[in-house]
Amino acid sequence: MTATTETATKTHPAIVTNPWESAQRQFDAAAELLNMDKSLRAVLREVRRELVVRFPVRMDNGSLKIYEGYRVQHNLTRGPAKGGIRFHPNVSLDEVKALSMWMTWKCALVNIPYGGAKGGVIVDPQELSMRELERLTRRFASEITLLVGPESDIPAPDVNTNAQVMAWIMDTVSMESGYSVPAVVTGKPQEIGGSEGRPAATGRGVTIVALQACKRLKMDPASSTVAIQGFGNVGSISAQLMEQAGFRIAAVSDVYGGIYNPAGIDIAKLLEYREETGKVTGFEGTEPVTNEELLELPVDILVPAALENQLTSENAPRIKAKLVVEGANGPTTPDADAILESRGITVVPDILANAGGVTVSYFEWVQDLQSFFWEESEINARLENIMVKAFNQMCEQADSHSCSLRLGAYLVAVSRVAQATQVRGIYP
């Protein structure tokens, strides 16, 4: 029987702000303040490599479907490229380029020896069976082995990918190499070299910097309410750990919608409810809100932990939170940033706020290369030390230049990459 073939098409909504343009604007602001040489600026504001692949996947009904995917490396000056892989119908090359640049600055800010990369496939994984998802993952992994490897480019989970997806990638690379290569990915199951503390690392990092920001702003966690947009790995772990730290979680949302209770939501019970129903909406004792409404609720702290471009020039004037902690990558557009800053709202930028994941991914990679593993208590202590140090360095730069925390973070990160580039020189 001849297999039929169809092509997976992009289903982009109207994109108001191009994430790649946003990333470049953020870089340009730091480069200007650093008085960076124009030639060096030209090197750092572009990606080094971008790989576009189109590949067939056999579906369960015997048909073939063509998918498009990307792997982009922004910079490798300070070490191997590092960055997640996302599966989402709205993945685009410009989005992946922006995410790869943000990864460069994120790794530099927390001072781990990586450059930035990112990958993605245009797909809605909820429409695939588990067998189809595995075949798609393995084929995409095989396509990008041109770039990935434990000493060149190390993927990790991102939106709609998880430890199982990383296990399939690791196994695919290992089978094609003829021996196990555990260090080719991070965020994988502990049974094949994953690290203790990795699943909770990003949410733990969000909580650590939220506590540091509260100290800076003289806010009491026990009397502070929090709204979290996105209740995936980052959002749900952030909710759990922030609740344990004394914050009152007043609202959360997922792809189906949100819930709100100003008196606070019991996160443990909500997790049980979601396990039963697959969503947070309808949880007893809460009122429904949309993802858009959640952002504008009267809370003290807002944690956007979903996708980019959630805080825009349109809704920024209506944000009521005093503090925004960016659990997602690029949730605030540059125009929104300017509005929030003019209104006195503090934003802890994504390149620090969600850097807990890549920091513990670095720990995982080191452990894999050594074949020697650490206890979770040691991992969490090392993570907190790195995050607090980076937070303080960001604040020092922001205070000395009288600028936002985002620009302060960029000044730390961009200057590190620029110095490394100057020291290495240009080949040949």
pLDDT tens column, 127-172: 999 999 999 999 999 999 999 999 999 999 998 999 999 999 999 9
Walk across the sheet containing 225-229 and list its strands.
287-289, 257-260, 248-254, 225-229, 301-304, 323-325, 346-348
pLDDT (0 to 100) of residue 13: 37
Task: State which residues form the domain around 321.
Answer: 196-428
User: Tokens 């090392």 — which residue?
Assistant: 382
Same domain flag for 263 and 347: yes
Average pLDDT of the residues in 409-426: 97
Same domain flag for 101 and 172: yes
Distance (Å, rounded) from C-alpha 394 to C-alpha 214? 15
Same domain flag for 182 and 242: no
Query: HEC string of 261-293?
Result: CCCCCCHHHHHHHHHHHCCCCCCCCCEEECHHH
Which tokens belong to 270?
């909500």
Catalytic member of 97, 118, 188, 322: 118
Same domain flag for 140 and 255: no
Show the CA angle centred on residue 211, arms to residues 258 and 295, nearest 5°: 25
Same domain flag for 135 and 152: yes
DSSP three-state, residue 14: coil
Partnered with residue 6 across adjacent β-strands are 65
DSSP three-state, residue 156: strand
With residue 53 as reference, give the H or E element that holds it: strand 49-58
> Which of 134, 156, 187 is the last residue in one of the domains?
187
pLDDT digits (tens, 9 = 90+) for 303-324: 999 988 999 999 999 999 999 9
Distance (Å, rounded) from C-alpha 149 to C-alpha 153? 5
pLDDT digits (tens, 9 = 90+) for 99-108: 999 999 999 9
Answer whether residue 30 is part of any domain. no
**pLDDT of 12 strictly over 70:** no
DSSP 73-102: EEE-TTSSEEEEEEEETT--HHHHHHHHHH
Same domain flag for 175 and 202: no
**pLDDT of 2 strictly over 70:** no
Answer whether residue 16 is part of any domain. no
CATH of the domain at 73: 3.40.50.10860
Average pLDDT of the residues in 347-369: 97
Give me the half-sphere count of Cα atoms (radius 13 Å) on the Cβ side of residue 308: 27
DSSP three-state, residue 321: coil
Show the CA angle centred on residue 21, arms to residues 358 and 44, nearest 5°: 60
Answer whether residue 218 is part of any domain. yes
Same domain flag for 150 and 270: no
- For residue 362, give every residue at least 6 positions away whose Cβ sits within 8 Å of its Cβ, in sequence order, or none: 82, 112, 113, 114, 186
> Which of 168, 187, 206 is the last residue in one of the domains?
187
Q: Would residue 118 show up in a list of annotated catalytic residues for this protein?
A: yes
Cis peptide, bond prior to residue 334, ω within 30 of zero: no
In 188-310, at which residue ranges do the beta strands (DSSP E only) sit? 225-229, 248-254, 257-260, 287-289, 301-304
Our count of domains for the chain comes to 2
Answer whether residue 317 is part of any domain. yes
> Which of 187, 207, 233 is the last residue in one of the domains?
187
Answer whether residue 345 is part of any domain. yes
- For residue 425, give every residue at least 6 positions away whose Cβ sits within 8 Å of its Cβ, in sequence order, or none: none
